Amino acid sequence: MTDTGSLEQRPGRPLEADPWSTFTGPAVAADQVVAVTSFRRFLRRFAGQPMAVGALAVLVVLVLAAIAAPRIAPFDPLAQDLQDTLQGPTSEHWLGTDELGRDVLSRMLFAARVSLVAAAQAVLLAIALGVLPGLMAGFLRGWVDAVISRITDAVMSFPPLLLAIAIVGVFGPSLTNAMLAVGVIFAPRFLRVTRGAVLAAREETFVEASRSIGTPVLRIIATRILPNILSPLLVQTSLALGFAMLAEASLSFLGLGVQPPDASWGAMIGRAYRFLAQTPTLVVFPGIAIAVCVLAFNILGDGLRDSFGRDTRGAGR
C-alpha cells in the first residue's frame, strides 16, 4: 500500500522538492553579485573624483604620521629648553619652539594623535547614541517616532558649543568629558539621517515582501534596512569627523579639553595665542593642520555622497 503523501517518484511525475531549497541558493548568490557590482561601481565613481581621492590621501598621510609619531618626531615633545624659547623655524627646530622651549613639530605630531582619536571617539559615541533610536523611529513610526523626534528637537534647540561647555562644566574639564559632550551634541544629527534613510528604505518592495511572509522585525532591520542606509551614514560620519575636530579644538582652546602636559592642535593654539605678537608661527602651524584636516574630511564626505548618490550613477560609466 503506497502512501499518497510521500515524496517517492511516481511514473511520469517528477520528484517533488522543497521550494525553498531551489530559491534560497540563487537568491543569496544574486544578492552577492549585486553587492559586488555596486561596490565596483562605487569605486569607479570615487576614483573619478580627484579632489576626493586627494583628500583621502591627505588623511591617510596624517593618520600614518600620527601613528609613527614616536619614531619620526625629532625631539621628545615634553622636553623643555628654557634657553631656547619662542624661536621661529630653524634648521634644528623646523617649526620653532614654544614658550617652554619644546619642539613644535614634535608636539604637533603627537597632538595629531590626540586630535584624530578624540574626533573618532566623539563620532563613534554619536553613532552609538543616534543610530539605534533613528532605526526605531523610522521603522516603527507612531508614538515611538513622535517621542524620539520631540527629544531630538529639544536637544538640538540648544546651541551646540554652549551645550558642550555645560556638559564639560558639570563633569569637569578633560578630553574624555569634552568628547562625551561632542558625541552628545552630534547624536541627533545621526538620528535624523538614520530616520530619514529608514523611512525611505521601509517603503521599498523587498522590505514589504519580507514583512508579508512574516520575517521578524529585527531580521528585516539587520538584513534589509541596515545595508541600504550605510551610504548616508558613511557620508555623515566623514562630515562629522571634521566638525568633531573643530569642536575639540574649540573646547581645548578654552581649556576645557585636553589638559597639560598633553596637547592637541586646539590646545596648542590656545597656549600660543598669548604669544601671538612675539612668535605668530606658534598659532599658524597648528591652525593650518586643523584647517587641512577638516577640509579633507569635508571634501571626502562630498566625494562619498556623490559616489553613492543616485543622481551620479551614470557619470562613471
Question: What tens digit of pLDDT does each residue of 143-172 get?
Answer: 989 999 999 988 888 888 888 888 888 888
270-281 pLDDT per residue, tens: 888 888 888 888
The residue type of 98 is D
Angle (CA) 293-294-295 rounded to 5° is 90
Whether 182 and 247 have beta carbons less than 8 Å apart is answered as yes
On the question of pLDDT at 288 being above 90, the answer is yes
Whether 224 and 201 have beta carbons less than 8 Å apart is answered as yes
Domains of the chain: 57-312 (1.10.3720.10)
> Which cell numbers hold the place of 137?
523611529
> Which cell numbers hold the place of 195?
530616520
Whether 111 and 268 have beta carbons less than 8 Å apart is answered as yes
Cα–Cα distances in angstroms (integers) from residue 192 to residues 26, 126, 133, 151, in the given order: 36, 12, 9, 12
261 preceded by a cis bond (ω within 30 of 0): yes
Q: What is the pTM of this model?
A: 0.80
Selection from 26-35, 99-108, 212-221, 249-258 with the highest mean pLDDT: 99-108
Distance CA 87, CA 95 (A): 9
> Which cell numbers hold the place of 223?
538584513
- Band the pLDDT of 110: cuts 50, 70, 90: very high
43-87 pLDDT per residue, tens: 888 888 999 999 999 999 999 999 999 999 999 998 888 888 888
> 264: left (phi > 0), else alpha (psi -120 to 50), else beta?
beta
| Residue 97, strand partner residues | 103
Lowest mean pLDDT among 16-20, 196-200, 299-303: 16-20
Please give the pLDDT value at position 209.
83
